[in-house]
Structure 1
Amino acid sequence: MADSMDDELSLPKATVQKVISEILPKDLAFAKETRDLLIECCVEFIHLISSEANEICEKEAKKTIAAEHVVSALEQLGFGEYVEEIQKVAQEHKEQQKSREKKQSKFDQSGKTPEELQAMQEELLRKARERYETNAELQ
């Protein structure tokens, strides 16, 4: 049971390995045990920040941890040097979310119901099948 909990509280090893390989010089190796230790440290760091942010959130009688709570947690735990970069990343994320919300799918833009779209697709397939059968008969 503890192993399944450990798996749930981990980071994808391939992702960590990719980050490590992007940071380290190409001629430097990173042992598997060291990677696993780094993953454990990252998980512990995330847990520490999350717990502190949760406490801040609860003190404010909020039900959702916001980016501001994470920033406050970092500052209270002595990681203030990360705040500027985190705020920049949070702002970039907000901008990406806004642009995603503005984009509509082709289905939404069509103004047709899913049933109408399915009927159109079935009609196109029927016509294509007829053309195929006509061409097969001619040959």
Structure 2
Amino acid sequence: MMTDEVEDLSFPNAVISRVISDAIEDNITVSKDAKASIQRAAMAFILYTSVTANRFATESKRKTVNVQDIFKALQTNGFDMIIEPLQTTLEQYQSEMKKKKDLLKTAKIQDSSSTVTDTADEKEEHVDKDSSNTDIQMNESKTFEIDNELDTIDEKHDG
């Protein structure tokens, strides 16, 4: 039964093709069989690493595999050479996610303060409606800027 489950696991062909094309020269073609072999090797690597990492989590009396378990599994399985680049990539990812979180937090704070300001302005008898519209336009513009910044962070991470 486990064999059937393992055979059912696979990456989408487009992902495999993209990884292969990024890794080799443009003038080289890769056969279907070679792509299938790479896909099986990638799945075997992931399963082998996952099982080893799970063992480390279990030995530590945890039910959740953490990043340190993965790095320890890679080292145990003889993949020391990829640990440092993975740590660098992880740090970059965490930094980008922190920036994204901070931008969202800033946007929420700005929206909250805008709502408080708008409510206070509405209570005043002499509200200039044109300036209220300007405030709304500025808030929409800031939201647009933050959305663009988040899109840029996502593109860097995905690319």
Question: Structure 1 length normalisation: TM-score?
Answer: 0.70
Residues 44-64 of structure 1: CA distance to partner in whole angstroms, max 9, x if unpaired? 100000000000011111222
Q: Using the alignment, how far apart are the partners of 2:66 and 2:15 within structure 1? A: 25
Match of 1:30 in 2: 30
Deviation sequence 1:25-70 (CA, Å, 0-9, x none): 1111100111011101100100000000000011111222111111
Task: Call closer, same or farther: CA 1:67–1:4 in 2, change over 3 Å.
Answer: closer
Distance 1:4 1:33, change over 3 A: same
Over 3 Å counting, the alpha-carbon distance change for 1:59 and 1:103 in structure 2 is same
Secondary structure of 1:103's aligned partner? helix
In structure 2, what residue type is equivalent to 1:11?
F
Equivalence for 1:19? 19
The answer on 1:110 being equivalent to 2:111 is yes
Structure number with bigger Rg:
1
- Point out 4+ residue stretches in structure 1 off by more than 6 angstroms: 1-5
Answer yes or no: is 1:98 the counterpart of 2:98. yes
- The gaps in structure 2 that reach 5 residues or longer are 116-159
Equivalenced residues, count: 111
Per-residue Cα deviation, 1:83-125 (whole angstroms, up to 9, x for no partner): 111111111121122112112279734225xxxxxxxxxxxxx
Which SS does the other structure have where 1:104 is aligned? helix
Indicate the residue corresponding to 2:85 in structure 1. 85
Deviation at 1:6, TM superposition (A): 3.8
Query: Does the CA contact (< 8 Å) of 1:57 and 1:65 recur in 2?
Result: yes
Conserved? CA contact 1:67–1:90, under 8 Å: no
Paired with 2:6 and 2:42, the residues of 1 have a C-alpha distance of 16
Q: Distance in 2 between matches of 1:41 and 1:33?
A: 12
Question: Percent of pairs identical after alignment?
Answer: 23
Equivalent residue runs for 1:68-83 within 5 Å: 68-83=68-83
Moved more, 58-67 or 72-81: 58-67
Q: TM-score, normalised by structure 2?
A: 0.62
Gapped regions of structure 1 (runs ≥ 5) = 113-139
